[in-house]
Chain A
């Protein structure tokens, strides 16, 4: 298979006695949107965490652009999360103390970009996600949908290659969820970023190009009927 950007092979991970991943594998190609589906507790999120280098699997390998994540130092993995990856979670990923524009600028600032530059880039992205009007508010002062769009802006601000989205619409109503998905997918397509989209909602998964099903910690690769 050509153009594989990120792959996880035979990943295993357990929390205490309960196995969360029990031999899961998946690949993500460049520019591709892959939905990870499955019932609650099936290991979807853990799979995403492993692929993103947040959680180290007990066995198996995660390879991003030819480099194995487990061989990297914490510093390198952090740099990867900062520069090459973007994250949109269900909630809680925005820092409540910072204004929204500061939140979006955060990954840039952590990489050492000057405040002014970082914030003007952040404002640009917020414009693309139609939330530039609330840039100076704090996360507690805006609606859930607005917050999620800000989170999307933050995930995109560094021009990442992969965006990890874990139930990005989970806390939203249908309309807001649709809006967030539409903006996430269209901006990702424009920038050529891949998306790993964990969801249990088929409607959200329908935004993907392909789906991977996780059940009891195992992935079931389902080939498309031609």
Chain B
């Protein structure tokens, strides 16, 4: 994900200080990885250079951290373009889970055990996300759901694979 676009998007709702931007960003998107200050300012200076944001004033007291930034028209166009450009679907052909299951099967180990272990771990994560979602605001719900659906997809694939493999096992046995 592009941090630059995210910051531009946040600035679209009104001019903010760099510190403000970091706080709002973390609140909405930074659950797992809060932004470092340095990252915020380096990104802002890149946006400034490209003419997508401009300085809209300085709070008394000086220093770069007290600067306010506002989005420019070019910045608005840029955000709009970014939003309507579809993300290319991520295709997980190289996931570790897949590798584990295949290896378990190849080596004659129980795929069910892999599944059960993975289910416990996945569900544990899902439970935490669900709990966070229950207490959080809309943004929390959205981000948690996003993660939950992905985890669920993993689990479903595992279930399906296991079911197929046990069928295959039966076929081989008979």
Contact = CB atoms under 8 A, between A and B. Distances in A.
Task: Classify A-B as touching or not with yes or no (CB < 8 A).
Answer: yes
Q: Is the interface of B mostly helix, strand, loop or mixed?
A: helix
A202 B123 contact: yes
Nearest to B148: A203
Nearest to A220: B116
Given A213-B119, A220-B116, A224-B120, A202 B152 contact: yes
Given A203-B148, A206-B123, A225-B121, A39 B116 contact: no
A115 interface: no
B149 interface: yes
Contacts of B152: 201-203
A52 to B, nearest CB: 24
Contact of B149 (A39, A186, A203): A203
B116 A182 contact: no
A91 interface: no
Interface string B126-151: 11011000100000000001001101
Given A39-B163, A182-B134, A206-B126, A222 B116 contact: yes
Interface string A157-184: 0000000000000000010001000100
A205 interface: yes
A111 B124 CA distance: 40
Which residue of B121, B126, B149 has the most chain A CB atoms within 10 A of its CB atom? B126
Given A39-B163, A207-B127, A209-B127, 20 more contacts: A174-B145, A185-B134, A201-B152, A202-B119, A202-B122, A202-B123, A202-B151, A202-B152, A202-B156, A203-B149, A203-B152, A205-B123, A208-B127, A211-B123, A220-B116, A222-B119, A222-B120, A224-B120, A224-B124, A225-B120
